[in-house]
Structure 1
């Protein structure tokens, strides 16, 4: 298997699995969905690659980090996992279409830390915004642009 054309999906709470598979098929990428046994879908497809890990809090993250390679793509909403993947030269996007970059991930980590401090004090915010069709469309656009850019780069390298 070509290590550079792989998409890893932190799949436990990912709302765009169908869109990922469709785009990956279109561009010839292999998708590996990683989830805990607690989140095992009932409608598994034989053509999809699923890996199930122990229900521990970071089990899926550890599996992904142990199997991901430079220039792979990771789809996650976990900022901590995103920060660890970015330093390995992995491209990371969220299910809402946000691209995580090395120059901005520290700010996201800082906000996550401040939110954790507030929760520790008993101050809970509203939680994440509801996932919308605009989020889904932004994700599809970002994913397809990224995969298209990879195709352009690989065509350029082979010339």
Structure 2
């Protein structure tokens, strides 16, 4: 059975995940360290994990499996979930898979090294846009229908 696992801390698309899940009858697990109000939708559950670095990531990676869909922008978590057989979609609608995760991880590591070497780096990525939200909805719907068809 397909489940959506959402790395819910700072996730800008929780309501979109709930909308797709409700339409398709798919269970959702929001995983966080706290600070999120329990959802009223019976398909959506809240899993609060212990405080600490990457505790939500660890829980999601251990629980997800083939046919599940993980919503995260955390590339190391995405890699672990892909290795567990899950599908992964980022908040901006980009679908990660075995063919593109290696390059994305390498770029992430390179950029992290470059930022660490520049004490004047101002940080910050581009703003989350309406187009990102729309791409996310399309990608999540496509992955969910594919998972349900196979499941």
User: One fold, TM greater than 0.5?
Assistant: yes
Give the match for residue 128 of structure 1. Answer: 125
Tell me the matched-pair count.
148
Greater than 3 Å deviation, 4+ residue runs: 151-154
Displacement of 1:126: 4.1
What's the RMSD between the two structures over aligned residues?
1.5
Are 2:88 and 1:76 equivalent residues in the alignment?
no
Equivalence map 1:21-100=2 (5 Å): 21-37=18-34, 40-41=35-36, 43-47=37-41, 48-100=44-96
* 114-123 or 88-97, larger mean C-alpha shift: 114-123
The separation in 2 between residues aligned to 1:125 and 1:27, in whole angstroms, is 42
TM-score (norm 2): 0.91
The separation in 2 between residues aligned to 1:114 and 1:58, in whole angstroms, is 21
Give the match for residue 103 of structure 2. Answer: 107
Displacement of 1:13: 1.1
Displacement of 1:46: 3.5
TM-score (norm 1): 0.86
Displacement of 1:150: 2.7
The separation in 1 between residues aligned to 2:110 and 2:122, in whole angstroms, is 12
